């Protein structure tokens, strides 16, 4: 007997990487081997030296195929064993190791938008739906578009053993959110990439596509973000560390250093309108959804907890955003 292993990796497409996958048939009980692929077809190599290496780093029960089949998340390496330049997970491994004693946790809110053909799901042909207002956490066929896909995606994520904390309908029709975490930096980023793969794969069977475009519709419609919630052990134990983390993100050129890597097109989403802060002005505040970083009101009441970095785009690389936040905040808290 055999089982199917779906090898999933992140490609070299610029400015936003895409997910790729292919299937390997393995003998029952066989371990997951290193594998290869044609990097010239994924913006990860030139044609004359095209071989790239897939190294399994995490595997999950495959909820689509069921049985003993698995999803296998991989890192990409050159044939000499160095991480490929598109491999952003390699740098996160080092950073999370360096600050392991601070026990960082992340919860990432992934917003996304369904499309059918060229239009967001729920947008009428050649026009616009009623303005925003009733769609967020709505109910009913006049407000909700794609729930069957969303429910199936959630079930698939749970069956794969992913730690999701919830889902909700978003402010624009056809726009939704799921939350992954709280988990360690590597776990949250791995699981978010796999949850994204499952989103595309689940929607595919409904003839629907999903996009992480940060501003899928121009004009007076909310963009799509990936609010990144963060804590260390010290922050979960006391308020001083919570404030210090929020302060650290605003010091010494950090705001721009972070923003540059918070997803392509971040300036188009962080305009100061639609529950965002302007991309070039750092601010933080309690309960403030117009700030770059929010301290949830409950955190201020409890005098401990976490902060929410509201700036990352939906299309952010979770390996990068978690590395930057740990690098900035854990370094500041170490002092
Ligand atoms: P909202 O929409 O109000 O901003 P959500 O409920 O969508 O909030 O998301 C909150 C996120 O915060 C969840 O992903 C959750 O896992 C995460 N979270 C909760 N506690 C912590 C913590 N101590 N450290 C990091 N993340 C946390
Ligand atoms: Mn071939
Ligand atoms: Mn949310
Ligand atoms: Mn949201
Ligand atoms: Mn949020």
The ipTM, to two decimals, is 0.98
Confidence of residue 126 (pLDDT cuts 50, 70, 90): confident
Q: Which atom of ligand 1 is nearest to the CA of 180?
A: 14
Alpha helices in the chain (DSSP H): 89-98, 147-159, 185-204, 233-237, 239-248, 254-259, 266-269, 297-302, 318-325, 331-334
| pLDDT value at residue 89 | 98
Measured distance CA(107)–CA(318) in Å, rounded: 11
Interval between CA 112 and ligand 4 midpoint (Å): 9
Q: Which residues contact 29 (CB under 8 A, 6 or more apart)?
A: none
Q: What are phi and psi of 76, to 5 degrees?
A: -100, 130
What burial class does residue 116 get, using C-beta atoms within 10 Å of its C-beta: 0-12 exposed, 13-18 middle, 19+ buried? middle
Cα 117 from chain centroid (whole Å): 24
Measuring from atom 13 of ligand 1, which residue has the nearest CA?
107
Verify whether ligand 1 is closer than 6 Å to residue 165 (CB atom).
Answer: yes
Q: Is 170 a residue whose pLDDT tops 90?
A: yes
Q: Is residue 287 within 8 Å of residue 219, measured between CB atoms?
A: no
Q: Is 335 a residue whose pLDDT tops 80?
A: no
Verify whether ligand 1 is closer than 6 Å to residue 185 (CB atom).
Answer: no
Q: Is residue 186 within 8 Å of residue 174, measured between CB atoms?
A: no
Mean pLDDT of the 30-49 span: 92
| pLDDT value at residue 280 | 93
Interval between CA 69 and ligand 3 midpoint (Å): 32
Q: What share of the chain is helix, strand, coil (3-state, %, to 5)?
A: 30, 25, 45
DSSP assignment letter at 230: E
| pLDDT value at residue 199 | 98
Q: Is 141 a residue whose pLDDT tops 90?
A: yes
Confidence of residue 13 (pLDDT cuts 50, 70, 90): very high
Confidence of residue 133 (pLDDT cuts 50, 70, 90): confident
Interval between CA 245 and ligand 1 midpoint (Å): 16
Q: Which atom of ligand 1 is nearest to the CA of 168?
A: 7
Q: Is 131 a residue whose pLDDT tops 90?
A: no
Measured distance CA(291)–CA(307) in Å, rounded: 12
Q: Is 161 a residue whose pLDDT tops 80?
A: yes
Strand residue runs (E) in 117-198: 119-120, 164-169, 175-183
| pLDDT value at residue 252 | 87
> Which range is least confidently modeled, 38-47, 241-250, 307-316?
38-47
Verify whether ligand 1 is closer than 6 Å to residue 105 (CB atom).
Answer: yes
> Which range is least confidently modeled, 116-120, 234-238, 257-261?
116-120
Ligand at shortest distance from the CA of 298: 1
**Neighbouring C-beta atoms of residue 236, cutoff 10 Å:** 17
């Amino acid at each position: 007997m055999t089982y199917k292993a779906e090898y999933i990796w992140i490609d070299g497409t610029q400015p936003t990487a895409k997910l790729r996958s292919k299937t390997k048939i393995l003998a029952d009980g066989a371990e997951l081997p290193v594998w290869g692929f044609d990097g010239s077809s994924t913006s990860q190599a030139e044609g004359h030296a095209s071989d790239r290496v897939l190294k399994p780093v995490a595997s999950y029960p495959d909820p689509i195929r069921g049985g003993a089949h698995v999803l296998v998340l991989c890192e990409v390496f050159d044939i000499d064993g160095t991480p490929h330049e598109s491999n952003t997970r390699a740098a996160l491994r080092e950073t999370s190791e360096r600050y392991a004693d601070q026990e960082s946790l992340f919860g990432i809110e992934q917003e996304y938008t369904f499309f059918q053909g060229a239009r967001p799901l729920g947008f009428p042909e050649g026009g616009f739906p009623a303005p925003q207002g009733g769609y967020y956490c709505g109910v009913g066929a006049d407000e909700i578009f794609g729930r069957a896909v969303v429910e199936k995606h959630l079930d698939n994520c749970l069956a794969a053993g992913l730690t999701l904390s919830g889902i909700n309908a978003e402010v624009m029709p056809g726009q939704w959110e799921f939350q992954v975490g709280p988990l360690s930096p590597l776990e949250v980023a791995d699981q978010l990439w796999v949850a994204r793969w499952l989103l595309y794969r689940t929607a595919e069977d409904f003839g629907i596509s999903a996009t992480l475009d940060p501003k899928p519709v121009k004009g007076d419609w909310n963009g799509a973000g990936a609010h990144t919630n963060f804590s260390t052990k010290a922050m979960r134990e006391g308020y001083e560390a919570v404030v210090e983390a929020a302060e650290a993100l605003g010091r010494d050129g950090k705001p721009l250093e972070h923003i540059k890597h918070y997803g392509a097109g971040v300036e188009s989403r962080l305009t100061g309108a639609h529950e965002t802060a302007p991309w070039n002005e750092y601010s933080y505040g309690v309960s403030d959804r117009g700030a770059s970083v929010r301290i949830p009101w409950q955190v201020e009441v409890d005098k401990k907890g976490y902060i929410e970095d509201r700036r990352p785009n939906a299309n952010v690389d979770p390996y990068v955003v978690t590395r930057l936040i740990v690098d900035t905040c854990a370094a500041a808290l170490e002092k």
